[in-house]
Amino acid sequence: MRRRLGKAGLAGIFALVIGGAAAAEPVTLLAVGDSLTQGYGLDPDQGLVPQLQAWLTARGAEVTVINAGVSGDTTSGGRARLGWSLTPEVDAVMIALGGNDMLRGQPPAQARANLDAMLAEVKARGLPVALVGLKAPGNYGPDWQAGYDAIWPELGARYGAVVVPDLLAPIAAKTPEARAAEGLMQGDNIHPSARGVGLVVGALGPKVLDLLDLVKPAP
């Protein structure tokens, strides 16, 4: 004998359908960075953001990644433009800056202050954030190097950020001979090739999924 659904039963089913639709609403991730984020020297579909977008989509993540990478940008530049970059549709933020500060020999304290201010602004808006760093070179001395390397874990802990201490770690883990043989870097030996970006995204992607898990559902 077939059972008839009353109004309460229909309302329950309707609520489940609406709830499922809300849960699937796409998330917008703002990726703030420099040339590594922007995709310097690569075809438009081969940079970090498009490859990350493809990686996330392939794993069922309902997300749109906005490329807010500016070639040559420093933490000072990122700090200056963050406010107007945080448009109402942004649900989460990934900050990947500091490499150009290091290349220019700027003091670690200056980069730390800028990133601190950026993280504070993101958190003030109630948005989850990922902080993506780079391993500092040793050419300015051990204290300078240690000052930079401490930024990512310390600020990450302070603001409850998802932390990636070294974006290029998957490439750096290989020997110079392997990097060359696999064609992981561009000719400047600073920016990864499309293949190198793919390797980086394979390690970065799970961290970004952790970040997306922190996004609060729309009311």
Active site residues: 35, 188, 191
For the CA atoms of 208, 161, 41, 77, the dihedral, rounded to the nearest 10 degrees, stands at: 150
Rounded CA-CA distance 156/132 in Å is 9
Dihedral sign from CA coordinates of 169, 174, 180, 183: negative
Phi, psi (degrees; rounded to nearest 5) at 176 = -55, -35
Residue 48, SS3?
Answer: helix
Q: What are the DSSP calls for 151-197, one per residue?
A: HHHHHHHHHT-EEES-TTHHHHTS-HHHHHHHT-B-TTSSSB-HHHH
Return left, alpha or beta for 141; rule: phi > 0 is left, psi -120 to 50 is alpha, else beta. Answer: left
